Amino acid sequence: MGKKEDPLIRYEGNPILTPEQMPFRCYSVFNAGAIRFKDEYLLLLRVEDYSRRTDFYVATSKDGINFSVRSEPINYPLTEIEKRYRKGHRFDMRITYLENTYYVCHALWLDPGCMIAMAKTEDFVNFEPLPYTSVPSNRNAVLFPEKINGLYARLERPQNIDGSGIMWVSYSPDLVYWGKSMPLDIPVTPWSGKKIGAGTVPIKTREGWLEIYHGVGGTCSTENYYLGVALLDLDDPSRVIAAPRECILAAEKEYECIGQVPNVVFTCGAIETDDGKLNIYYGGADTRICLAQTTIDTLIDYCLKR
Please give the C-alpha separations between residue 160 and each of 2, 42, 114, 139, 180, in angstroms, as whole numbers: 36, 33, 12, 11, 19
* pLDDT tens track for 83-97: 888 878 999 999 999
Residue 237 contacts residue 222 (beta carbons within 8 Å): no
In a domain, 242, yes or no: yes
Q: What is the mean pLDDT of the chain?
A: 95
* pLDDT tens track for 209-229: 999 999 999 898 889 999 999
Q: How far apart are CA 257 and CA 180, in angstroms?
A: 39
In a domain, 1, yes or no: no
CATH of the domain at 270: 2.115.10.20
In a domain, 4, yes or no: no
Arithmetic mean of pLDDT, 93-102? 97
End-to-end CA distance of the chain, in Å? 22
* pLDDT tens track for 28-52: 999 999 999 999 999 999 999 999 9
Domain tally for the chain? 1
Range of the domain at 279: 9-305
Name every residue whose Cβ is closer than 8 Å to that of residue 138 and which is 6 or more positions away in sequence.
Answer: 114, 115, 116, 156, 157, 158, 159
In a domain, 2, yes or no: no
In a domain, 241, yes or no: yes
Using the predicted structure, report yes or no on whether residue 3 has a pLDDT greater than 70.
no
Single pTM value for the model: 0.96
pLDDT at residue 121, as a whole number: 97
Q: How far apart are CA 290 and CA 306, in angstroms?
A: 26
In a domain, 3, yes or no: no
